[in-house]
Amino acid sequence: MDDARQSQPSAVREHDVRQLAQRHLGERGALMPILHEVVDRLGYVAEEDIPVIADVLNLSRADVHGVVTFYHDFRRTPPPARQVQLCRGEACQSVGAEDLYASVTSTYAHAPEVEVREVFCLGNCALGPSGLLDGRLVGRLTPERVAALVGAESSS
């Protein structure tokens, strides 16, 4: 996502959201693909996006808001600079994911530029504990390796 998009003027964002929504207008169940595309392209679904999407799809604002708030994948605020998602699936749990998650969440609890979330199974079980760092799959994680990856990639 382009950092300039996060701070774009409201009229520009409204135009972009309207265009994204109109591309899916003829699809059955268009709301979910629209919301995913808004997050993929603009980083999050802003409160001001909801009436625009509702207008294009001829839905109520409450319908759109309900879907946005129900699914955790639809971020409603700009994402932090770094996103760490740690697997909490059974295979990763068996090789230390619970301790890893506790350590990493504690380390970054007061770091607004790093978000730590849990996910359940990334399909990288043989290399657990696994995670995603800004969407990139990594395995054999330890608290030290997470810190090194977060630090190394934030300086690049």
Please state the domain extents for the chain.
3-70, 82-154
**Would you call 51 exposed, middle or buried from its count of C-beta atoms within 10 A (0-12, 13-18, 19+)?**
middle
Q: Distance (Å, rounded) from C-alpha 90 to C-alpha 62?
A: 37
**Per the structure block, which two tokens stand in for 50?**
């909801």
How many alpha carbons lie under 13 Å from residue 130 in its C-beta half-sphere? 19
CATH architecture assigned to 82-154: 3-Layer(aba) Sandwich (3.40)
pLDDT tens-digit map of 80-136: 999 999 999 999 999 999 999 999 999 999 999 999 999 999 999 999 999 999 999
Q: What is the pTM of this model?
A: 0.73
Using an 8 Å Cβ cutoff, are 104 and 116 in contact? yes
What's the confidence (pLDDT) of residue 59?
Answer: 97
